[in-house]
Amino acid sequence: MGTRPAEIAVPARLRVGVLALQGDFREHAQVLRELGVNVALVRRPEELDQIDGLVIPGGESSVMDKLARTFGLAEPLRAAIRGGLPVYGTCAGLIMLADTILDGMDGQQGLGGLDIAVRRNAFGSQTASFETDLDIPALGDQPVHAVFIRAPVVETVGPKATALAALADGRCVAVQQGNLLGTSFHPEITGEYRFHEYFLQKLIAAAR
C-alpha cells in the first residue's frame, strides 16, 4: 500500500512549517522529511516568519482554533494566507482553511482562504469512519487510498476553488485554490506521498 516518494528537487533553503498545536503533526513532519524538506514545527507567531509554506494537520479543529487564538497565531496566519502563503490542510486543517464552517462549535473561527463551505464531522460518530480508494486524475492513474476519520466534507465549492476528488456519492473531499490545498482525509497516515509532493510543487513555484 502507498507510493514511493518521487524525486522532487527541493531547494535546500526551503522550510515548511507544520502547525503543532494539536493532532498528528509528527506524521506530516515525517512525510515532508522523507521528501527531503526542512521542517519546522510552528506553535508561536514568530515561527511563522521563517517558513515558505505550512501544513495544518489532522486533529480537533475546535482545539486548534482555540489555541491559535489564545497564543496569537490566528491573526498573523490569516494575514499570511491572504498574502499568498502556501498551506495544505488535512481534515481539521481543511476545516481551518474553509471560508465557511458548518456544524462548528459556537464561536469557532477558521483561518479562511478556501472559497468553500465545509461541514465538520459530516459522516457521524467514529463507527462511520472508513477507508476507500479515490480516483484523482491530478495525481496520476493510481488511485489514492484515503482514510476518513470523523471527517468533514466540502459541501459547497465556490467559484474561486476547484474540486479535486469526490466520493462515490459525489460529495467533494479535496479542493485547491491558488496556493491552498485541502483534503478531508489523511495521506500522512497511509504512506501516500503524492498530495505532499503536489503541495511542494505549488510551494516551490511560489517561492521562486
Partner 1 sequence: MTESTSAEQFGSSRVKRGFAEMLKGGVIMDVVTAAQARIAEDAGAVAVMALERVPADIRSQGGVARMSDPDLIDSIIAEVNIPVMAKARIGHFVEAQILEVLGVDYIDESEVLSPADYVNHIDKWNFTIPFVCGATNLGEALRRINEGAAMIRSKGEAGTGDVSEATKHIRTINGEIKRLSSMSRDELYVAAKELQAPYELVAEIAATGKLPVVLFTAGGVATPADAAMMMQLGADGVFVGSGIFKSGNPEQRAAAIVKAVTFYDDAKVIADVSRGLGEAMVGINVSDIAEPHRLATRGW
At its nearest, how many Å lie between partner 1 and the CB of residue 69?
Answer: 11
Angle at 36 between CA 34 and CA 39, to 5 degrees: 85
Total site size for partner 1, rule CB under 8 A: 53
The answer to whether residue 99 forms part of the interface with partner 1 (CB under 8 A) is no
| Grid coordinates belonging to 167 | 466520493
At its nearest, how many Å lie between partner 1 and the CB of residue 176?
Answer: 11
Q: Show which residues are catalytic.
A: 91, 186, 188
For strands 162-166 and 130-134, give the pairing. unpaired
Helix (H/G/I), strand (E/B), else coil: 194: helix
Cross-strand pairs, 145: 133
Using CB under 8 A, pick the residue from 10, 117, 167, 206 that binds partner 1.
Answer: 167
The answer to whether residue 165 forms part of the interface with partner 1 (CB under 8 A) is yes
The answer to whether residue 19 forms part of the interface with partner 1 (CB under 8 A) is no
| Grid coordinates belonging to 178 | 491558488
Angle at 150 between CA 128 and CA 96, to 5 degrees: 155
| Grid coordinates belonging to 133 | 480508494
Q: Which residues bind partner 1 (CB under 8 A)?
A: 20-27, 43, 58-60, 62-63, 66-67, 70, 91-92, 103-105, 120-121, 124-137, 143, 147-150, 163-168, 170, 186, 189-190
